[in-house]
Structure 1
Amino acid sequence: MDYKEGNADELKTKFWKALADSPFVFLERKEQPGDAVVMTAQLDKHANSEIWFFTRKDHHLAKMGPAFATFSSKGHEIFARFEGVLVEEKSRERLEKEWDRHVEAWFDGKDDPNLLMLRMELGKAEIWNSDMGVLTNAKMALGMDVRDEAGEHHTETAL
């Protein structure tokens, strides 16, 4: 039985909304699997395929490079795993835009010598929507085949 692929645009919209509502991801460098840490994604609805993170220059994420992030929404309806490349964000304008009291709580101000702002240039993503509706959940509870319906709630896409 072939899976049907979900509507990528619809699932991406749900993903971005869920990430904005709860911007916490597990982030890890591809070269250092297993060392994922919880990070707060700084989002900009006008950005094109980029998100930002604040960390310290002495943190293992400071080595930058290819990275993966995993995400679960507050209600566990949206799940995602996405990849990208971590690079240093050097724009003072971007730092000013993303800086807030929550970030400040972790650093000695915007000029902290150990402050590092990372930009994740996003690539491929896999997104799942676990809210498959009443009928599909009832079929699942009865042990009926729901693979076609589940496939409509999944996509592989570029962010």
Structure 2
Amino acid sequence: MQAQQEQDAEVRARMWKEMGKSPFVMIGLIGSHDHREPMTAQLDEDARGQFWFYCNRDNRVARGGEAMAQFVSKGHEIFACIHGTLTEETSEAIKDKYWSNITEAWFDGGRDDPNLMMLRFDLKDAEIWEGDQSLKGKFKMLTGQTIDPDEAGRHAEVTL
């Protein structure tokens, strides 16, 4: 049990590290038939159970609620399905903290755009897959050999 918890913590830490390198997710509201859409997560090293998104008030996820985000790392070593709740962020300090020139390019009125809002994604649980990065595992994949379960990588289900 202890070994599994340690492995889950390692996989979760790796997911956060990889999200820091490429903070793009596909997100959508649970129960909605709208397609998921790509958004840029604003990450904070000290907030391991939350991330944020800027969006327009007429965006399909703007009403908030229970949501699901999918993440794939740049090198396709980490895959995650993250479940949580989207809520409008009302803290002006948080909104200012993550504001950047890149963000401003998406909003005609800049930081004062009346259509601008920020959503906070509070994570509840996630399922994370970590691919095998060993040379042996990559060789087997390239040559069509069967990959043993212990060579397939790691998998974690985490609750936050």
**Taking structure 2 as the reference length, what is the TM-score of the superposition?**
0.88
Q: Deviations over 1:51-100 (max 9, x none)?
A: 00001101111111000011111111111111100000000000010111
Q: Deviations over 1:116-136 (max 9, x none)?
A: 100000011111111341223
Give the letter aligned to residue 122 of structure 1.
L
Q: Deviations over 1:95-152 (max 9, x none)?
A: 01011111111111222111110000001111111134122344554634512332x5
Identical aligned residues as a percent: 41
Is the Cα–Cα contact under 8 Å of residues 34 and 60 in structure 2 kept in the other structure? no
1:112 aligns with 2:142: no
Match of 2:14 in 1: 14
Match of 1:89 in 2: 89
- The alignment partner of 1:90 has SS state of coil
d(CA) in 1 for partners of 2:117 and 2:127?
Answer: 28
Match of 1:128 in 2: 129
Pick closer, same or farther for the CA change 1:38–1:29 going to 2, 3 Å: same
d(CA) in 2 for partners of 1:126 and 1:31?
Answer: 19
d(CA) in 1 for partners of 2:37 and 2:121?
Answer: 15
The Cα of 1:33 is off from its aligned counterpart by: 4.2
Match of 1:57 in 2: 57
- The alignment partner of 1:54 has SS state of strand
Match of 2:159 in 1: 158
The gaps in structure 2 that reach 5 residues or longer are none
Structure of higher RCO (CA pairs closer than 8 Å, 6+ residues apart): 1
The gaps in structure 1 that reach 5 residues or longer are none
Match of 2:77 in 1: 77
Segment of structure 1 superposing worse, 123-132 or 110-119: 123-132
